[in-house]
Structure 1
Amino acid sequence: MLPLSVLDLSVVTTGTPPAQALRNSIDLARHVDALGYRRYWLAEHHSLPSVASPSPDIMIGQIAAVTQQIRVGSGGVMLPNHAPLVIAERFKMLEALFPGRIDLGIGRAPGTDQATAHALRRRLDIREGDDFLERLQELTLWETRGFPAGHPYNNVIAMPDDAPLPPIWLLGSSDYSSELAAQVGMGFAFAHHFASFDAVEALTHYRANFRPTRWRETPYGILAVAAVVAETDEEAERLASSMDLNRLRRDRGRYEPLPSIEEALAYPYTEADRASIARNRSRLFVGSPATVRAKLTPLIEASRADELMVITATYDHEARKRSYTLLADAFKLQRAAA
């Protein structure tokens, strides 16, 4: 049975303000925990009107506290925005409080625009160029205590020091990210829902080139996709219209809350708009449970994904919960004991 997981952006809609979107995330996490989902990951985005949560570590603690079995993690923490010691401390704390249930997913992108990224980092030690590898190495050194002799950090302790760092996952949408995850021997999650790079090639390359390390002995690839499921294909298409319009606006530089179905259906689409939506639909799986499973199965089999992680953004919160219920039934998840 293929494990299913959730990627959540705490989506803000035109009818759901950010504070309610955060509460909806907690409610959804309880729901999918009972359905038997494997993980619940929360993203880090800043200054986006459609995303309520810029701090996945805070949400992880809230969600882990009200769920029983599901693993809770970041999908991901954007490492360039943070001092590695801060990430080590926060996730060791989470692991100490919820042992065996926390994941640390890490990304290379800022998760925002350049001005916001500058505001986030202006008090940090900013270096020229991409320093992700340096930050990743420092993060792992807080766990291994492998700083060179005489290094000033040798006397610094990431507390609580009796709790390990949770499993580290590298997130990506390119061949570079799959290569890096393979070389450092960590879990890999591929973002099919926005990637232009081929998911099959990325996950195949990761598996073929994986090097066992202290972090993982064997490769493990998560395929992250966007999906909307309803009882019928027609209802799913109706629900997905909000995502279609939202993505169209994002492609034109308009980052707005998710529109209602009524607004999306009434929008005066041009032929160019419809062509853009059709292209974006290659990254969105829409339909009844049978339809969505049939669409996903070839991709899952070709990529040899170990796990499927699903992001669903609908205007109505109950429709989103229903979508995850129907998907769980389609993949025959074993529900948690009461």
Structure 2
Amino acid sequence: MLDLVPVAAGTTATDALAHSTRLVRRAEELGYHRYWVAEHHAMPGIASSSPPVLIAHLAGATEHIRVGSGGVMLPNHRPLVVAEQFGTLEALHPGRIDLGLGRAPGTDPRTAAALRGIRPEQLSADDFPDQLVELASYFRGDAAVPAVPATGNAPALWLLGSSGYSAKVAGLLGLPFAFAHHFSAENTLPALAIYRENFRPSTMLSEPYALVAAAAFVADTDERARELALPAALQFLRLRLGQPGPLPSPQEVADFEWSPSARRFVDDRQADQIIGSPDTVREGLDKLLAETGANELMITTSMFEGTDRLHSYELLADAAGLVPSGRAAA
């Protein structure tokens, strides 16, 4: 599961974070394998801006589900700090922490510059491969500066991407690769091919390992699922129009004046999503797995009502054949 910690209209970031706590506990009970949170800044509709802090909380609220970042945008941070943070998390929750790394800023240029303490015109991710190598050295313990408690407490490293660039880097470094199909579907198959073609065995992996992240909206009927998917579609449309905001209510969706171009935009976006009843979604999951050859699928879902979102993941777990853990959510 990939949780962007969506903030719905009329609610607060505090409400969204509380819902994520309930959601991760239910995910563990349902048998989900891993639960990642994103890094986004200055976005009123997303409350996930500090992955290590949120991961610490979510891991502490659960017992065995893997918890991680999807991802930490490495150019925003010093590798030593990231190593110390995630080494601490791994020491506290051994064998349960994933460190997914990306090179996008996760925000607008002005905010990215503020995060890095530079001017916007100085923004660059050209040293991203060097940052990855530096970060790994802290976990191995062969860096010039010791990183305590990172050395000996390495989380599972993943490289995230939405293009061929990250796919090639992941392959050359022998890292598992997580692809953002949910917003870059046209690049999914080419990027996975690049990753596999460039893969070199490493101490972490002997062969390629790919995860594909997709958006899914599940309800009891196809019609209801399509209704529940519309607020997220309108939110994304507004974001592309330079109007970021919280997840709109169903009433906002009903009142919105859909131009032909807006409707085409949403239709194109939803064509790459998995929307429907459990049977429809099961077919969609099987199709995506067959097309991509992915080792894992990761699902992200944003719905206006938290109860609908929770029910969607419950239906999805059943459709995917997950085995419940038997532990009741606290």
TM-score by length of 1: 0.92
Worse-matched range after superposition: 133-142 or 320-329: 133-142
SS of alignment partner, residue 223 of structure 1: strand
1:99 match = 94
8 Å CA contact 1:93, 1:163 repeated in 2: no
Q: What SS does structure 1 have at the residue aligned with 2:178?
A: strand
CA distance in 2, matches of 1:145, 1:228: 43
Which of 141, 146, 155 in structure 2 is aligned with 1:145?
141
1:299, distance to aligned residue in structure 2 (A): 2.0
Name the counterpart of 1:279: 268
Assess if the C-alpha contact under 8 Å between 1:175 and 1:197 holds in 2. no
> Which secondary structure does the structure 2 equivalent of 1:310 belong to?
strand
Partner of 1:33: 28
Amino acid at match of 1:319: D
Q: 1:250 aligns with which of 212, 223, 239?
A: 239
Q: Secondary structure at the match of 1:283?
A: coil
In structure 1, the partner of 2:7 is 12
Q: Does 1:130 align with 2:126?
A: yes
After superposition, the Cα gap between the structure-2 partners of 1:12 and 1:266, relative to the gap in structure 1 and judged at 3 Å, is: same
Of 70, 78, 101, which aligns to 1:75? Answer: 70
> Which of residues 157, 160, 163 is equivalent to 2:149?
160
**Percent identity between the two aligned chains:** 46
Distance in 2 separating the partners of 1:192 and 1:292: 16
Aligned partner of 2:170: which letter? A
CA drift at 1:161 = 5.0
Q: 54, 59, 82: which is aligned to 2:49?
A: 54
Is the counterpart of residue 318 in structure 1 residue 313 in structure 2?
no
Q: Which runs of 5+ in 1 are unaligned?
A: 1-5, 148-153
- Bigger drift between 258-267 and 106-115 goes to 258-267
- Provide the C-alpha distance between the structure 1 equivalents of 2:266 and 2:10, rounded to a whole number of angstroms: 23
Name the SS for the 2:7 alignment partner.
Answer: coil
Please tell me the root mean square deviation across aligned C-alpha atoms, in Å.
1.6
Q: What is the TM-score with the length of structure 2 in the denominator?
A: 0.95
Gaps of at least 5 residues in structure 2 are none
Deviation at 1:16, TM superposition (A): 2.1
User: How do residues 128-277 of structure 1 correspond to structure 2 at under 5 angstroms?
Assistant: 130-147=126-143, 154=144, 156-160=145-149, 163-195=152-184, 197-277=186-266
Aligned-partner residue type, residue 165 of structure 1: A
User: Residues of 2 paired with 1:127 and 1:52: CA distance?
Assistant: 24
3-state SS of paired residue (1:198)? helix
Match of 1:112 in 2: 107
